[in-house]
Structure 1
Amino acid sequence: MTTAHDPKATLKRYLQGTREGLLWKLDGLSERDLRLPRTPTGTNLLGIVKHVAGVEIDYFGVTFGRDWPTPQEVPWIAAPTGDVPPDLLQADFFATADEPAEQILDLYRRVWAFADETIDALPLDAPGRVPWWGDGGADVTLHTILVHVLADLKQHAGHADILRETIDGKVGLLPGNDNMPGGLDWPAYTARLTAIADRF
């Protein structure tokens, strides 16, 4: 089967594109801009990356019986039961003052390699178990987890895209392919939409 018609290769390609697109949203920003909460619930760019690192460690590790090799660097990741100490609640959604941005970014890049080892080693129908789903966990396949994680990452990449736009106006899908129409007068466009909204 060629790569073009290989479902696992397709899912992995989209997963990697999403990972890279997410990190692109952090390029060139200061430590403060990366950490500053941008929503009433504290959403921030660096926290999104820290969160998805944990997502991939759990889903491509714990689910398939693999341990992250250095658990001491990810204390915020829940135990298999889902129990989290109170002082670590929401700890995966922000970087502490002792966690430089480059440390979080490096962690996530290493997580890619860890996750890809699972993806490469197993067929799509390989069984796994998510202990934190439902009452007593749920049986899954690698295919299910690839789709689940890709959907989760896409959602967070969308959050990051909007957050970045509020910082400096930079938008787009991927480095080198922003997927935005050229030549549009954005202030006039948003004024038009505002005028329509104001009629209601």
Structure 2
Amino acid sequence: MATATAQREKSAVAAAVASSSSSVVGTSVPPAAAAAGGERWGAAIGNLTELGANVEALQKLLAKKAVFVDDDIFSKASLAADQARTIKILDQRVQCLERELDAAISAAARARTEKRQAEAAQRAAELRVQEVTKELENTAKVFKLHMEELRAKQEEIAKKESDIKVLEAIIRTLSNKDDGGSSE
């Protein structure tokens, strides 16, 4: 069976090589184009010849190593091979998903750490705000006390000024009396 198929493939390759070489010979092409085209056809024919040799070697290998099985065994083997390929694909997908899961877990851990750091920074900022607020309240109290002292001093100064004005008025009155009594 394999030999008949190999024979047919050899005949097809030989026919293709023969038809391609005869078609190149029968055309009228300018010499420069024919040389370039001839080189390409020559390379193509060389490739086909090499392909034929490879097919022949493959046929010999198959003839020596081929195992013939019935349809039932072949379908089971095919099914097993398909299942093996599916399992391999699914295993690769599982590995990919595991890597993605590990990355997501790492990202979540980093996010939790950053959140804890942000919360700690927020608590520190709130404590600092409380300290600054206390300082401002204390400063306001001290300022209020200073203002009260300044008002008290201002009242004292105002009282002394009024006392000084009264004393000046008394002195003027007394000096007017003295001036008035000595001039009489």
TM-score normalised according to structure 2 size: 0.24
Ranked by relative contact order (alpha carbons within 8 Å, sequence separation 6 or more), the top structure is 1
**Larger helix proportion of the pair:** 2
Based on CA coordinates, which of the two structures has the bigger radius of gyration? Answer: 2
TM-score normalised according to structure 1 size: 0.22
